[in-house]
Amino acid sequence: MTQQTFRIGLLGRGTVGGAFADLLEQRAGHVAAVTGLRPRITGVLRRSEGDFDQILADSDLVVELIGGLDPARDYVQRAMAAGKHVVTANKQLLAEHGEELWATAREHGVQLRFEAAVGGVVPVVRVLQESLAGAHVERLHGIVNGTTNFILTRMADTGASYADALAEAQRLGYAEADPTDDVTGKDAAAKMAILARLAFDTPVSLAQVRYEGIEHLTADDLEYARELGLGLKLIGTAERVDGGLSVRVHPAFLYGAHPLASVNGPFNAVTIESEAITEITLSGPGAGGPQTASAVLGDVVSAMIPPASTHEPSERLELVDDVVSAFYLHVDVADQPGVLAQLAQVLGLQNISVKSFVQKGLGENARLVMVLHPVLESQLSGAVDLITGLEFVRGRPRAIRVIDEAF
């Protein structure tokens, strides 16, 4: 029996696009057996090849792997308005224009699939949209950027500086020549905006996600953290707070029992917490052409047998900025009598107590490293401002959040 062809228009044929084309050719027979339709690329658009209007006319589904906002946004909108399903790996596009695009998909009764936009091959989008659709999610924690996780792993394992670990990541292909979006936390923030939208059913844009990166971290931070039983990751968090929603990305220390503490190298992982399920963790490779291509193909198969599109938000939760966290605090001081007493007094004025501390060095090169009990971020910021002004303090203290929860 002759199988009907399912026509795919491919926008962009770089690393991921090329890997997708190869994978589709290899797995077309299996997809045909599953769906009854044989997928085939019928047109490719890149700078030196293809015409979008012709590709659109000749396709049942469009795969967008161009990246960026323009012209990707226009192409995706036009494809869905023409009644075509769309699969994309474009997290920036969804983080900034997701509600508009999902509304277009609903209006025209087509699929907009985007598993590959978050977490590489880790199927967190499908789990949130389908497997946990009935769960009342309380919190997500995620390592959703493989580049920064590789850098921090190398700094912890070898004592390398941030600059040296970044250079190694670039040599191995884990970091781009311009790694700005990765190391500043912007890439992770875009992914957390998407995950928060799915998990909490409320609109979240990239502009609403507070984020900071890893550029300021030092090998000393990781060395002292080991003595305190901590490991350092760039963590994305989305959680319910006092009836609102906090979404943020920042470096954070984890105790060894945390399920994300052992996720190393270029791997991604997400923990999902809900009273109904307690906690589950999904992990796997976070980047790479073949891995991302696998997620794209999975979305293509899903769109060939489409369930409902991403629904309209059912909630409008207020975004919360000031949240409670434990902190690691690194203070460079001159080793003089009364230093500890004055620091304790300043922290006490802000109602901050110390859980543990380590002192290193003598004389003008002394360092105090401590873990503080949970406190509002605004209180910690006020304490850091006061400590910075003390005569014996050499430079602004470094504060890094500590995720201090039992699992």
14 is in an annotated binding site: yes
Closest CA to 30 of 55, 52, 12, 3: 3
12 is in an annotated binding site: yes
Q: Which of 84, 191, 233, 355 is catalytic?
A: 191
CA–CA distance from 273 to each of 124, 281, 288, 333, 361 (Å)?
Answer: 13, 9, 28, 40, 41
Closest CA to 96 of 217, 203, 185: 203
Annotated catalytic residue 191: yes
CA distance 60 to 82: 10
13 is in an annotated binding site: yes
CA–CA distance from 38 to each of 41, 282, 295, 311 (Å)?
Answer: 10, 31, 18, 29
What 3-state DSSP class applies to 310?
coil
Structure tokens given for 398: 């470094």
* Preceding omega of 285 cis (within 30 degrees of 0): no
| Rounded (5°) CA angle 399-244-277 | 90
91 is in an annotated binding site: yes
DSSP string, 168-202: HHHHTTSS-SS-HHHHTTHHHHHHHHHHHHHHH-S
Provide the CB-side half-sphere exposure for 304 (13 A, CA).
Answer: 24
All residues at 6 or more sequence positions from 99 whose CB lies less than 8 Å from its CB, including other chains: 203, 313
184 is in an annotated binding site: no
371 is in an annotated binding site: no
- Determine the straight-line distance between the first and last CA of the chain, rounded to whole angstroms: 54
233 is in an annotated binding site: no
All residues at 6 or more sequence positions from 75 whose CB lies less than 8 Å from its CB, including other chains: 11, 52, 62, 64, 66
| Rounded (5°) CA angle 113-114-119 | 150
281 is in an annotated binding site: no
Strands 366-376 and 354-360: antiparallel
16 is in an annotated binding site: yes
DSSP string, 108-128: HT--EE-GGGSSTT--HHHII
Phi/psi at 296 (nearest 5 deg)? -60, -45
119 is in an annotated binding site: no
Number of neighbours of residue 170 by Cβ within 10 angstroms: 15
User: Taking the alpha carbons of 358, 407, 192, 11 in that order, is the dihedral positive or negative?
Assistant: positive
Q: Which residues are annotated as a binding site for L-homoserine?
A: 176
Q: Which residues belong to the active site?
A: 191
Q: Which residues are annotated as a binding site for NADP(+)?
A: 11-18
Q: Which residues are annotated as a binding site for NADPH?
A: 91
Q: Which residues are annotated as a binding site?
A: 11-18, 91, 176
